[in-house]
Structure 1
Amino acid sequence: MSLPPPPTLLDLDIVLPIFVGIAVLTSVFRLGDRTRTGRFGWDDGVCGLSLCIMLIMMVFFFLIVQPPPEATQFTQIFAYYAGGMCFHGVVWTARISILLTYVRIAAFRIHKQVLASLAILFAILLLFLWGEMYWICEHEPGWKELHPPQCDLGQGRAITELCFDIFADVTLVVVPIWLLSKSSMDKFQRMRLLLLFSTSFLITVVSVVQDVIVFLAGGLREIFASMLEDAFSLTICSIPVIVTSLYRVYSKGERDLDIDTPNPLSLVTGTRYASAKPSSQNTWQPASSGTEGLSTGRDLSAYRGSFTAPSLIKEEEDTDGCNTHTQPSTLTLLEALPKRDDVVTSFHAV
C-alpha cells in the first residue's frame, strides 16, 4: 500500500488552516444557532470544549513542525505532550458530543442512561490514552534530545488506539440502529437519527485512514493526518445541526428536525404524547354508564389488547395528522378515578 507523500510547507501553511477554519466556522455556527433558539445542551457544551481544544492544538502544532528560533528544547517537549493530548481530546470530545445528541433524541429513560454511561466510558478511554502516552514517553526519555523531539510510541500504542477507535466507531454506528429498533418515532425524528448515523459513519472512515497512516508511517505524516482527523471530526460533529437549521429556514419554520423528544413514549400504545397545545375538540371524557361516556373520536377497539389501566385511555388528535395523543389533564383523571370499574366494563363491551 503506497503512502501519501510527506506534507509540504504549502500543506502546512494553507491546506491545513483551511480545513481547521471550516471546522471552527461550523462549530461557531452550531453554538450560535443552539444559543439563539434556546436549545443549548450538554452536547453543544462538549462541542464547544472540542473547539477550544482544537484552537489550542493549532498553537502547539506549529511549535512542533515550525518552532521559532527562540523556542527552547523544553518548550518543544511540552508542545509535543500538549499537542498529542489535544489531538485525542478533539476526536473523543466530538464522539462524546454525538453520543449526547443521541441522549437528547432517545425517548425512554433507560435508553438515556445507557447512552450517558457510554459517554462516560468514552471519557475514561480518553483519560487512559493520555496516561498511556505519558507513561510510555517518560520511560524512554531519549527522544527528548531529538530536534524536533518526538516520542516513539510503538506498535503497542497504535494497536491500543486502533482497538479504542473501532469500539467507539462501532458504538456510534450501532446506537442509531438500536434506537430505531427499540422505540417509535415520527418521521422527522427518524430523519434526524439517520442523519446522525451518516455523520458517525463519516467519522469512522476518517478514523480508519488516520489509523492506517499511524501503522505504516510516522513523523510529519502522522502529525498532519492527526490534525486533519481532528478538523474533519469537529466539522462532521456539527453537520446535523447545520442541516436541521437549513431545513428550518427552507420550510419557513413549519417543520423543525432539531427537536428533542419531549416526553417518553407510551409503554402501552407505543405512541408519543403531543407537545403542542391541547385541542378543544375530541377531548377525553370519563364514562358514566354504558358506552356513552367513551370518547367521541375514533373506535378504541383497535387498542383492546394494549391497555392495562383505565387511566391510560387516550384519544387520538387529528389536528396535525401526526400519530400523537393529547394527554388528559390531572383534574380530568381525578374526576375519572371513582368510575374505574365503569370504564373497564364499558371498554370490554366494545
Structure 2
Amino acid sequence: MLPMLPPGPTLRQTEAADISLTIVAVLATSFRLCIRVRQKRLGLDDAWVILGMICDLLLLIADCLYLQDFLKYSQSTRIALYYMVAQFFYGVVWSSKLSMLFTILRLSIPGNFRRFLMCTVGIFGAIWGLLFAQLWWICETQTGWKTQPHPQCDLGRRVAITQMITDVLADFVLIIAPCFLLYKVRLSRSHKVRILSVFSTSAITTIVSLTHAYYIVVSGGLKEVMAAIVEASVSLIVANLSVIVAFIFHLHSEDDSPSTPTPVITFGGQNRARITPTCIAVETTTIVLEDLSEARLRSTKTSDDDEITLNNRERKQTKDWC
C-alpha cells in the first residue's frame, strides 16, 4: 500500500518554480562563463556546461508548452512535448555531471588516475545513452498513455531504480575523485576542506535525484514534474560552483592582502644537486598546485589551468651561488 502523500503543487506553482530555478541556473552558468572568458581559460568542462544550459532553456520552453498550452495542440504534438521534456531533463543532468568530471580531469596529472577519469567519461556517456534509450523502450511498449488528454508515460520502478543507481554512483565518483586528487597535496587542512566542500555539493544532486525517483514510483503527475525541474536546475547550479566559489575566494584573498606575494605550494618534488667548480646549482622538479583561494593564475598554456592548477609539465628552477 502506497503511503499517503501531501497535496501536490498546482500548475501555476510548477511553472513558477520552473521559471525561477531555470533563471538562477542560467545566471550562474553565465557568470561562470564570463569568468572563464575574462581569464581566457575556456575548456571542455565549459563546453559541457553550455550544453547543459541550452538543454535547461529548452526544458523550460517544453515544460511551459506541455503544462499550460497543451490543449492548443494535436495529440501527436502533446506526445512529442512529453518526450522533449523527458529527454531535455536527461540532457541537463548528465551534461552537468560531465562538466564536473572534466573539471576534475583538467586538474589531474598524467597517470593511472587520469586514465581512470577518461574511462569514467565514457561510462557517463554510456549511462546517458542507456537512460535515453530506456525511456523510448518503456514508453513505446505501453501506448495507453498516448490517448490521455495530458499524456504522461508511466515510467515505473525500472526507470526509477535505474536513475537511482546511476545518479548515486556518478555522484559518488564526483565526490571521491577530488579526495584522491588532493590526498598527497601539501595544503593546510582548511584549504583542503574548502576545496573538497565545493566538490561535495554533488551530494545535493543525489538527494534531489532520490526524491525524483521516489515520485516516479509512488506519484507521477505534477509532483514528478516538479521533482524533475528541481533536479535539473540544481544539477546545473552545482556544476558551476567550483568556478564561482573559487573566483569569490580569489577576490577575497586579494582584498585581504593586496601586497602579499602569492604563495606557491608544491608537492611531489624531487631534488637533485649538481656541483660545478665555480658554483653550486640546485635543480628542483616540482608539480605546482595553485591554491583555490589565494593563488593568482599564471600559465602560458590556458587549456590545462583551473582554480586549482595541477601542472603536468615539469618546471625547473635554478638558483646559483657563485
TM-score bracket, shorter-length normalisation: 0.7 to 0.9
Task: Note closer, same or farther for the CA distance 1:314–1:58 as it changes in structure 2 (3 Å cut).
Answer: closer
Other-structure match for 1:74: 76
Distance in 1 of aligned mates of 2:204 and 2:33: 21
The SS at the match of 1:286 is strand
Q: CA offsets, 1:257-279, max 9 Å, x none?
A: xxxxx9x964747xxxxxxxxxx
Distance in 2 of aligned mates of 1:132 and 1:267: 49
More strand by share: 2
Contact residue 99 and residue 116 of structure 1 kept, 8 A:
no
Task: Note closer, same or farther for the CA distance 1:178–1:295 as it changes in structure 2 (3 Å cut).
Answer: same
What TM-score do you get using the length of structure 1 for normalisation?
Answer: 0.72
Distance in 1 of aligned mates of 2:17 and 2:57: 16
Distance in 2 of aligned mates of 1:82 and 1:140: 18
Q: CA offsets, 1:91-119, max 9 Å, x none?
A: 11111111111112223443222112212
Which residue identity is paired with 2:116? Answer: V
Other-structure match for 2:35: 33
Task: Note closer, same or farther for the CA distance 1:46–1:148 as it changes in structure 2 (3 Å cut).
Answer: same
Task: Report the CA distance between 1:49 and its aligned residue.
Answer: 0.3
Contact residue 105 and residue 114 of structure 2 kept, 8 A:
yes
Which residue identity is paired with 2:49? Answer: C
Which of 96, 101, 104 in structure 2 is aligned with 1:102? 104
Task: Note closer, same or farther for the CA distance 1:2–1:178 as it changes in structure 2 (3 Å cut).
Answer: farther
Distance in 2 of aligned mates of 1:313 and 1:153: 59
Unmatched runs of 5 consecutive residues or more in structure 2: 258-263, 287-294, 296-310
What TM-score do you get using the length of structure 2 for normalisation?
Answer: 0.78
Q: Structure 1 residue 327 and structure 2 residue 294: aligned?
A: no
Distance in 2 of aligned mates of 1:226 and 1:293: 68
1:1-350 alignment runs, 5 A limit: 3-181=5-183, 183-187=184-188, 190=192, 193-252=195-254, 266=268, 268=270, 286-288=274-276, 294-295=280-281, 327-328=316-317
Which residue identity is paired with 1:242? Answer: I
Task: Note closer, same or farther for the CA distance 1:314–1:133 as it changes in structure 2 (3 Å cut).
Answer: closer
Task: Note closer, same or farther for the CA distance 1:2–1:294 as it changes in structure 2 (3 Å cut).
Answer: farther
Task: Report the CA distance between 1:285 and its aligned residue.
Answer: 7.2
Q: CA offsets, 1:37-56, max 9 Å, x none?
A: 11111111100100000001
Q: CA offsets, 1:30-75, max 9 Å, x none?
A: 1111111111111111001000000011111122221244311111
Which residue identity is paired with 1:128? Answer: L
Distance in 1 of aligned mates of 2:191 and 2:117: 17
Distance in 1 of aligned mates of 2:30 and 2:46: 10
Q: CA offsets, 1:163-186, max 9 Å, x none?
A: 1122112212221222233x4254
Distance in 2 of aligned mates of 1:127 and 1:43: 19
Q: What is the aligned-residue RMSD (CA, Å)?
A: 3.1
Structure possessing the higher radius of gyration over alpha carbons: 1
Contact residue 77 and residue 144 of structure 1 kept, 8 A:
yes
Unmatched runs of 5 consecutive residues or more in structure 1: 256-261, 270-283, 297-311, 316-321, 333-350
Contact residue 172 and residue 197 of structure 1 kept, 8 A:
yes
Task: Note closer, same or farther for the CA distance 1:218–1:138 as it changes in structure 2 (3 Å cut).
Answer: same
Q: CA offsets, 1:169-223, max 9 Å, x none?
A: 2212221222233x42545973563133322122222222222222221111101
Distance in 1 of aligned mates of 2:192 and 2:124: 25
Between 1:1-10 and 1:69-78, the stretch displaced more is 1-10
Aligned length: 285
Distance in 1 of aligned mates of 2:242 and 2:4: 34
Distance in 1 of aligned mates of 2:31 and 2:51: 15
Contact residue 286 and residue 293 of structure 1 kept, 8 A:
no
Distance in 2 of aligned mates of 1:313 and 1:236: 38
Task: Report the CA distance between 1:136 and its aligned residue.
Answer: 1.5
Distance in 2 of aligned mates of 1:80 and 1:105: 39
Higher relative contact order (CA 8 A, sep 6+): 2
Aligned residues with identical type, % of pairs: 29
Distance in 1 of aligned mates of 2:285 and 2:177: 31
Q: CA offsets, 1:307-338, max 9 Å, x none?
A: xxxxx7559xxxxxx9x996157xx9xxxxxx
Distance in 2 of aligned mates of 1:327 and 1:189: 26
Which residue identity is paired with 2:9? Answer: P
